[in-house]
Amino acid sequence: MRFFIATGLMALSLAGTAPAFADDDAANCGDAPRSQWMSEDAAKAKLKDLGYDVRRIKPEKSCYEAYAFDKGGAKVEVFLHPVSGEVVGTSKED
């Protein structure tokens, strides 16, 4: 019984931390005005050059958020700095 309670509490604590990662990634993008951002097409091209197969890209807070497949074929979410084009975070999708 204790095992199930401990496992359940661990699962809940891990589930609560997942959204924080996305917020941390977005914080790494700074606060450049939208007029300085590269275009969505340029951001897609940058990710393609890095080996990602981008399916969708959108502005999200202060970053570009892309839904893509990495070189290994895994579904990923990629956060891209909108001015420099630097990848500031990634997470695997289920």
For 36-56, how does the pLDDT look when each residue is reduced to its tens digit (9 = 90+)? 999 999 999 999 999 999 999
pLDDT at 93: 75
pLDDT at 14: 46
pLDDT reading at 19 higher than 50: no
Q: In this structure, which long-range contacts are made by residues 83-91, counting pairs with CB atoms below 8 Å and at least 24 apart in sequence?
A: 83/30, 83/32, 83/36, 83/37, 83/38, 85/38, 85/42, 85/43, 85/46, 87/47, 87/50, 88/25, 88/28, 88/29, 88/63, 89/21, 89/22, 89/24, 89/25, 89/28, 91/21, 91/22, 91/25
Higher pLDDT, 24 or 68: 68
Mean pLDDT computed over 58-84: 95
Q: How confident is the model at residue 3 (pLDDT cuts 50, 70, 90)?
A: low
Give me the CATH topology for the region 20-92.
Nuclear Transport Factor 2; Chain: A, (3.10.450)
